[in-house]
Amino acid sequence: MRGPKSRTARKQHRNNELQEIEVLNGWIESQKPESGSNPLSLDPLKSKSPIGRIVDAPNGVVSFSRYAGARKFHELPISKRTKNGLEEGGFKKMTDIQVASLPHALCGRDILGAAKTGSGKTLAFVIPVLEKLYRERWGPEDGVGTIIISPTRELAGQLFDVLKAVGKHHNFSAGLLIGGRKGVDTEKERVNELNILVCTPGRLLQHMDETPNFDCSQLQVLVLDEADRILDIGFKKTLNAIVSQLPKHRQTLLFSATQTKSVQDLARLSLKDPEYISVHQEAVTATPNGLQQTAMIVPLDQKLDMLWSFIKAHLRSKILVFLSSCKEVKFVFEAFKKLRPGIPLKCLHGRMNQEKRMGIYSQFCESHSVLFSTDVASRGLDFNKAVDWVVQVDCPEDVASYIHRVGRTARYLSGGRSVLFLMPSEMKMLEKLQAAKIPIQFVKANTKRLQSVSGLLSALLVKYPDMQHLAQRAFITYLRSIHIQKDKEVFDVMKLPVDEYSASLGLPMTPKVRFLKQKNKSKMESEKSSLESEISDDENGPVIRKEDLLVEDVKDNKVEKDLLLKDDTQDVGEGNTSEIGDIMPATRVLKKKKLKINVHRPVGTRVVFDEEGNTQTPFAMLADKKSGNILLDQDKKDEYYKKMRQELKQVDKEDKLLERQRLREKRIKKKMKLKKGQKEEEDDEEDEDDLSDSEGESDANRKRKRSKVYFHSDSDDGEREENKAVASINADSISVAEQEELALKLLYSMHS
Ligand SMILES: Nc1ncnc2c1ncn2[C@@H]1O[C@H](COP(=O)(O)OP(=O)(O)OP(=O)(O)O)[C@@H](O)[C@H]1O
């Protein structure tokens, strides 16, 4: 704030401010319970409890007097600087949450504030933050006095703007620390000079970890906006790490439309006798009064048709569309853009670069358009010009998520409308919403006006091959999003019409989904085992044992019978039929057989057949041609063994060469497979990030996590595989040598 120009005027101004601070501090003292009255234990909204009021004395000096039921900002015991900022921002009358929480927050209490979306919670913490530092006469040399944490970058940016506007007459330095921005090194240089940090959890922790001398030891106020989200499992580790580095003696303010009351959560933040202020708890509805909400059944394969038709019917509206993954957002945005619906389209998701994200956010604030978004836009955002419609194409994960999504419209005093597409299998969600005091009307979709886009999408995918990959990823990430949902009463991936859905995206074939295959398999297995146990458990009917069933099977099944008969635990090749013992898988049978052959016929031994096709002993060719007797002297034998050895060595060499070649090919194949797997893994990882859209993890953390995955698959497993290969080479060469030895011994014993 620019002060008066002359020196005396400046001095006078400073004195006035010191006096103001004294009065404000006096007011806070008077609010302490031990001062006799505890006006704040009453509900300021209902009881018109006496809170302090600052009044301007005729000499320009502020003074404090008792006042009942302040509803306007200028009646609050706050500084002139803040009042001026509020006035210039057009804020005069307080909203309910502001009336109820500001007196508590101003006198330093910990607050758990809950109020409907769009009801002005931001000012309920921005004002106390500014006031606390003002009363403490915080200066640049005091360092970080307040940290405001937001779950998303856009929301952090928005909070920063409100702080700048309301605090414009104060002299504090404030900084916006969010991930995805390039200037992290510049931030590191300046972060210690900042008094107020507005940040996402990941970036804050990054500074705590990496910035030399980063100091929060003087922290006065910690604010968590969208507190339930920040206390949620997704941010748990990051938040715990942050809190462990903050001083315990501080004021903590938590705000959200869906506040947590979990004692565990609150214990993590070491709150001191927090005031739970929930101004709309008694309200008939949990959502804003000006919001008209509808839900309708839309089968999965008609969702895009319905969305397209909806957009075409509302070309003059500002529409916010929620989808569950970045890939879906990308695909729908790209596809619809190419189909030109007649209204500007935009998309917002966590995998876009930060500048683009901020740009899209401000553009959507300014214009009539359709914004396709993930839940990254579901909390806190206050789009400047009112959003007309919130369309939830994919069902929100829970009631809280629904409340935040629809809360992007009907903010403060304005109205808005929302529509939720529910698949037949998700109807349970409607009950849950209604049970949570959400006045949602169930309507029937007007299928007469439904325009089909799947044909157009098929043509698009042919024309733009890149789109096919996008469609596939969208398909997979959607299924995965359903698969990982916690609420199994609502979400069941096995109930989805997968092929129809794939076709509705314009895909010529249904992509293979690994987890679906596994799920199907385990489902089949469990069905099989339950069937089997049903059979054996049936007390009334004949008891059929599993073994009996399998034997019957084997007798009837020719292929299996053949395999089982080849089981060389018995004599094989002599025409003997063996008794069936254990049932063995085909591969094992073949392996065993190979091993047996190797033992009896050493590698490199030529098999000689006589005219009837019978095999002859190796010495047969050396037999006396007339008598047929094999009569050999020692020299001949030695000569023969030498020749054999050489032959065996040669064959062994060739075998090793072949084996090495085979292994090399196998390794290459394996590597290719790994690379492909890695690519898939990368995609999957992207998809997972994609679903979470979280700012909780620092970039470094993410990189660490990824490199760990790569290390695992590239070198760890790769190495293990190589070792296995080496081991198998050794095993083979030993067995060849052994076989050689064995063969020679055998020959010796037979003929010496
Ligand atoms: N006292 C006030 N007078 C006039 N407008 C206000 C007042 N307080 C807040 N607003 C306006 O109301 C809108 C919603 O406020 P805010 O974003 O703080 O809501 P919120 O309760 O934090 O919502 P959400 O739960 O979605 O985060 C903003 O446009 C804000 O400028």
- HEC string of 676-700 equals HHHHHHHHHHHHHHHHHCCCCCCHH
More confident residue, 494 or 609: 494
pLDDT at 554 over 50: no
- Tokens, residue 538: 């049936």
pLDDT at 576 over 90: no
Contact 643, 622 (CB under 8 A): no
Q: Is the CB of 122 under 6 A from ligand 1?
A: yes
Which residue's alpha carbon is nearest to atom 22 within ligand 1?
A: 121
More confident residue, 578 or 672: 672
Top mutation candidate among 412, 413, 414, 418 for ligand 1, by most atoms within 8 Å of CB: 412
What is the whole-number distance in angstroms between the Cα of residue 279 and the centre of ligand 1? 14
Which residue's alpha carbon is nearest to atom 7 within ligand 1?
A: 120
**Can you tell me the mean pLDDT for 10-19?**
86
Q: Which of 180-184, 309-313, 319-323, 336-340 has the lowest mean pLDDT?
A: 180-184
> Which pLDDT band holds residue 69 (cuts at 50, 70, 90)?
low
Top mutation candidate among 116, 123, 223, 229 for ligand 1, by most atoms within 8 Å of CB: 123
Q: Is the CB of 411 under 6 A from ligand 1?
A: yes
Residues in the chain: 752
More confident residue, 515 or 502: 502
Task: Indicate which atom in ligand 1 lies nearest the CA of residue 257.
Answer: 25
Report pLDDT for 45: 44
In sequence order, the 6+-apart residues with CB closer than 8 A to the CB of 270 are 243, 248, 252
Going by C-alpha positions, the residue among 200, 155, 236 that lies closest to residue 407 is: 155
More confident residue, 13 or 339: 339
Report pLDDT for 658: 83
Report pLDDT for 424: 95
- The alpha carbon dihedral of 337, 340, 346, 347 has a sign of negative
- Give the whole-angstrom CA distance, residue 356 versus residue 360: 6
- The complex scores an ipTM of 0.99
Contact 220, 250 (CB under 8 A): yes
What is the whole-number distance in angstroms between the Cα of residue 171 and the centre of ligand 1? 24
Which residue's alpha carbon is nearest to atom 12 within ligand 1?
A: 412
Report pLDDT for 122: 98
Strands 615-616 and 370-373: unpaired
Q: Is the CB of 118 under 6 A from ligand 1?
A: yes
In sequence order, the 6+-apart residues with CB closer than 8 A to the CB of 23 are 54, 62, 63, 64, 77
Q: Is the CB of 120 under 6 A from ligand 1?
A: yes
Going by C-alpha positions, the residue among 717, 709, 645 that lies closest to residue 679 is: 709
pLDDT at 559 over 80: no
Going by C-alpha positions, the residue among 417, 463, 471 that lies closest to residue 439 is: 417
- Give the whole-angstrom CA distance, residue 670 versus residue 558: 34
- Give the whole-angstrom CA distance, residue 72 versus residue 88: 14
Strands 221-225 and 251-256: parallel
More confident residue, 65 or 250: 250
Q: Is the CB of 123 under 6 A from ligand 1?
A: yes
> Which pLDDT band holds residue 561 (cuts at 50, 70, 90)?
very low
Task: Indicate which atom in ligand 1 lies nearest the CA of residue 95.
Answer: 1
Going by C-alpha positions, the residue among 376, 338, 430, 419 that lies closest to residue 152 is: 376
Q: Is the CB of 124 under 6 A from ligand 1?
A: no
**Can you tell me the mean pLDDT for 629-644?**
63
Q: What is the three-state SS of 606-639? A: CCEECCCCCEECHHHHHCCCCCCCCCCCHHHHHH
245 DSSP 8-state letter:
T
Percentage, residues of the chain above pLDDT 70: 67
Q: Is the CB of 116 under 6 A from ligand 1?
A: no
Q: Which domains does the chain have, with CATH numbers?
A: 70-278 (3.40.50.300), 291-504 (3.40.50.300), 521-535+551-590 (no CATH), 605-648 (no CATH)
- Give the whole-angstrom CA distance, residue 351 versus residue 326: 7
Which residue's alpha carbon is nearest to atom 14 within ligand 1?
A: 118
Contact 393, 321 (CB under 8 A): yes
In sequence order, the 6+-apart residues with CB closer than 8 A to the CB of 431 are none
**Can you tell me the mean pLDDT for 707-732?**
31
Q: Is the CB of 95 under 6 A from ligand 1?
A: yes
- Where is mean pLDDT largest: 381-385, 426-430, 704-708, 726-730? 426-430
Contact 599, 742 (CB under 8 A): yes
Q: Is the CB of 288 under 6 A from ligand 1?
A: no
Report pLDDT for 738: 54
Which residue's alpha carbon is nearest to atom 20 within ligand 1?
A: 118
Q: Is the CB of 388 under 6 A from ligand 1?
A: no
- Give the whole-angstrom CA distance, residue 244 versus residue 246: 6
Supply φ then ψ for residue 296, to 5 degrees: -145, 155
pLDDT at 108 over 70: yes
Report pLDDT for 732: 40
pLDDT at 377 over 70: yes
3-state class of 418 per DSSP? Answer: strand
Percentage, residues of the chain above pLDDT 90: 48
Distance of CA 105 to the CA centre of its chain: 34
pLDDT at 739 over 80: no
- Give the whole-angstrom CA distance, residue 200 versus residue 189: 18
**Can you tell me the mean pLDDT for 587-603?**
33
**Can you tell me the mean pLDDT for 253-274?**
86
Top mutation candidate among 88, 119, 279 for ligand 1, by most atoms within 8 Å of CB: 119
Average pLDDT, the chain: 76
Report pLDDT for 529: 64
pTM, rounded to two decimals: 0.70
For 135-164, the pLDDT digits (tens) are 999 998 899 999 999 999 999 999 999 999
Going by C-alpha positions, the residue among 237, 110, 3, 115 that lies closest to residue 705 is: 237
**Can you tell me the mean pLDDT for 722-734?**
35
Task: Indicate which atom in ligand 1 lies nearest the CA of residue 119.
Answer: 21
Q: Which of 41-50, 242-251, 511-520 has the lowest mean pLDDT?
A: 41-50
- Where is mean pLDDT largest: 511-525, 546-560, 632-646, 736-750? 511-525
What is the whole-number distance in angstroms between the Cα of residue 99 and the centre of ligand 1? 13
pLDDT at 66 over 60: no
User: Is 414 exposed, middle or buried, given 0-12, 13-18 or 19+ CB atoms closer than 10 A?
Assistant: middle
Report pLDDT for 399: 97
- Where is mean pLDDT largest: 477-481, 564-568, 703-707? 477-481
What is the whole-number distance in angstroms between the Cα of residue 413 and the centre of ligand 1? 9
Q: What element of type H or E holds 333? A: helix 326-339
Looking at the chain, the number of H-run helices and the number of E-run strands are 26, 18
**Can you tell me the mean pLDDT for 430-448?**
93
Contact 735, 659 (CB under 8 A): no
Strands 416-422 and 291-297: parallel
Supply φ then ψ for residue 100, to 5 degrees: -80, -35
What is the whole-number distance in angstroms between the Cα of residue 257 and the centre of ligand 1? 12
Supply φ then ψ for residue 441, to 5 degrees: -100, 130
Going by C-alpha positions, the residue among 165, 127, 134 that lies closest to residue 148 is: 127
What is the whole-number distance in angstroms between the Cα of residue 207 and the centre of ligand 1? 30
Q: Which of 137-151, 272-286, 550-564 has the lowest mean pLDDT?
A: 550-564
Q: Is the CB of 158 under 6 A from ligand 1?
A: no
Q: What element of type H or E holds 260? A: none
pLDDT at 634 over 70: no
Task: Indicate which atom in ligand 1 lies nearest the CA of residue 158.
Answer: 17
Q: What element of type H or E holds 222? A: strand 221-225
What is the whole-number distance in angstroms between the Cα of residue 93 and the centre of ligand 1? 12
